[in-house]
Structures are given as C-alpha cells and as structure tokens.
C-alpha cells in the first residue's frame, strides 16, 4: 500500500519507452526488419481474408475462424507495431500515461480474443474429425457466429476489468518502461499505488486464458489423435493430421512465448529474454500465421490457383 507521502509526490504524466535503445548502431537495421515484418503481416493477412471471402469453396467453419484469426492478427500487431516503429527515430520515446494504458487495453483485448478463437478452432477440428457425420450440425453458421461474438465480448470484457484497475493507479516515478510497448507487468512495477487488485485479476485471467485454454486444447487433441489412429488408410490419417498441424503449430508458438513472458519473474536478467519472447508473440506470430495455414493446406493452394486463373482469363 502506498504511503501518504508517496501519494502526494509528483504525478507522472508521461512514460519513456526504452524500446531497442541499447542497440543504437542497429537502429536502421532493426527499423527495416520490423517495418518489413509489419507490412508483410498486413499484406498476408489481408490477402487471406480476401481469398476466404471470395472463394465459395472456403466458406466452411474452419476458414470462417481462420478469417477472424487473420483479422485479429492485423488488429493485434497494429496495437503495438506503429508506435514501436515511430519510436526508432525519436529522441524521446514518450507516451502519455493514459495513452499507455489504452495501448495495453487494445493489446490485451485482441490478444485474449485471439486466445478464445484458437480454442474455438481446436473444438472445430475435434468436431470435424471425431464427429464428421454431425459436423455441419455441431458447427453450423449460427453457432460459429455466436462463438466469435462471444470471443470478442469475453476478451473485451476481461480487458475492461484490467482497464478499470489501471485507471486507478497512481504513478509518481520512475517513468521508464524497459520495453517497446506498454505491458501490464511493467505498469504494475512503476506504480506507487496498491496493485493487489490487478495482481489478482492478472492471476485469474492467466488461469482462465492460459491454463484452462491450454487444457481444453490438449483434451481436444487427445480425442483427435485417438480418432486419427483409428483411421485405416494412410492417406486418410495424413489428411486428418494436416488439417490439425497448422493450428497446433500456431497454438504452441502463441501460448509458449506468451507463457514465458507472463510466468517468468520480472528480474533484470530476464528482461532481454522476455523482450525477445514478446517479439515472437506480438510481432512474429501474426506474420507467420497466414504462412503456417497456407503452406501445407491444399484447399488454400487450390483457391489461389483458381484466383490466378480468374485474373489471367
């Protein structure tokens, strides 16, 4: 609990984002790399959204969720990347306290919503492989729409709770965030207010979105693997596995890197590793997702070929 003296001290109105200032000689190189990643993320995800929208063969629950995942990846990376890129050539990498809190709110909202969509995609694969005859009933368009709307509402509501807690915090110095964006652990460290409420909320959300989501996905894939092993033909097993491999790769990358950041202690030794892991799940994964879902996906390749033929003709 903050003392009266702390509460009456100077109020911080701006934060300084350290970003990648420790590598001054690599500024141009790092800016070019991250700008290229951001542009490729936008191009590939927008391309995937347009392709799914235009090709009637891809109007299935699996690609409905993939469409929403691509949209979320665009929003997710845009909540942090533009500010990070603009800071590379700024002498004072500052952001207002309210701006910092709102950045985290949008980052958290899209991240938590994406977690829900990834769980929904695991359930979709479970329904497709374990109950193929009832698949169209279980995953009807109205059900898929309800799941996506519910994911957005759940993610936004969870972030609103954190937002309410953050807006109550008092910052009286220091005001330096050793990161390239505003993240909850750093904000709680810098606050001179009591952060017990936010710590409880953060722990609860970690259990719900981290551990529970992982458990649901693991159970789903347990049933999926058991069903795949029962398929007699090698071709059938290979086809079933390929429909799940892309999603499983995304889940491992997303949950693995984010878990490292939020479960590891905030010590000076772990800051560089934490920043690197954060880059993976905030910048790299949104770029890689379209590739992961397209490289081994025959339906996506066929849709691209049909699109090329339409353009040529």
Q: Give the residue from 122, 84, 83 showing the smallest Cα distance to 255.
A: 122
Q: Give the residue from 302, 247, 283, 295 showing the smallest Cα distance to 42.
A: 283
Average pLDDT over residues 277-283: 88
**Structural domains of the chain, count:** 1
Facing residues of 48 across strands? Answer: none
CATH code for position 182: 1.20.1070.10
Token output for 47: 């391309």
**Backbone torsions φ then ψ of 290, nearest 5 degrees:** -60, -35
Q: Residue 10's pLDDT is what?
A: 73
Q: Residue 32's pLDDT is what?
A: 97
For residues 191 and 26, give the distance between their C-alpha atoms in angstroms, rounded to a whole number.
32
Strands (DSSP E) along 151-265, which ranges? 176-177
- Tell me: the pLDDT tens digits for 64-96? 999 999 999 999 999 999 999 999 988 889 999
For residue 300, give the 3-state DSSP assignment. Answer: helix
Q: Give the residue from 149, 79, 102, 122 showing the smallest Cα distance to 212.
A: 122
Quick check: 195 pLDDT over 80? yes
Average pLDDT over residues 279-289: 91
Q: Residue 23's pLDDT is what?
A: 87
The answer to pTM > 0.85 is: yes
Parent domain of 223: 4-312
In the chain, helix, strand, coil percent, each to 5?
80, 5, 20
- Tell me: the pLDDT tens digits for 85-125? 999 988 889 999 999 999 999 999 999 999 999 999 999 99
The string over 278-297, giving b where at least 16 C-beta atoms fall within 10 Å of a residue's C-beta and e elsewhere, is bbbbbbbbbbbbbebbbeeb
80 class by beta-carbon count within 10 Å (0-12 exposed, 13-18 middle, 19+ buried): buried
């Amino acid at each position: 609990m903050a003392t009266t003296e702390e509460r009456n001290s100077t109020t911080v109105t701006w934060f300084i984002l350290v970003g990648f200032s420790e590598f001054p000689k690599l500024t141009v190189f790092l800016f070019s790399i991250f700008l290229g990643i951001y542009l490729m993320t936008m191009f590939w995800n927008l391309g995937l959204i347009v392709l799914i929208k235009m090709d009637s063969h891809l109007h299935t629950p699996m690609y409905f969720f993939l469409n929403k995942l691509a949209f979320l990846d665009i929003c997710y990376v845009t909540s942090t990347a533009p500010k990070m890129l603009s800071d590379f050539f700024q002498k004072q990498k500052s952001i207002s306290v309210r701006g910092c809190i709102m950045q985290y709110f949008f980052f958290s909202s899209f991240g938590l919503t994406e977690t829900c969509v990834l769980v929904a995609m695991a359930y979709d694969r479970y329904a497709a492989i374990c109950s193929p005859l009832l698949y169209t009933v279980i995953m009807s368009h109205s059900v898929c729409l309800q799941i996506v709307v519910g994911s957005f509402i759940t993610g936004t509501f969870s972030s609103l709770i954190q937002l309410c807690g953050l807006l109550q915090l008092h910052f009286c110095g220091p005001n330096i965030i050793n990161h390239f964006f505003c993240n909850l652990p750093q904000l709680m460290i810098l606050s001179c207010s009591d952060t017990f409420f936010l710590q409880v909320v953060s722990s609860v959300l970690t259990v719900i979105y981290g551990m529970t989501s992982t458990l649901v996905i693991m159970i789903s894939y347990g049933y999926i693997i058991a069903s795949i092993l029962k398929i007699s033909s090698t071709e059938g097993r290979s086809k079933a596995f390929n429909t799940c491999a892309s999603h499983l790769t995304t889940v491992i990358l997303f949950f693995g890197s984010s878990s490292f950041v939020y479960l590891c202690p905030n010590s000076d030794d772990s800051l560089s590793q934490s920043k690197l892991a954060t880059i993976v799940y905030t910048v790299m994964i949104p770029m890689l997702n379209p590739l992961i879902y397209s490289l081994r996906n025959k339906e996506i390749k066929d849709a691209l070929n049909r699109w090329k033929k339409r353009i040529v003709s």
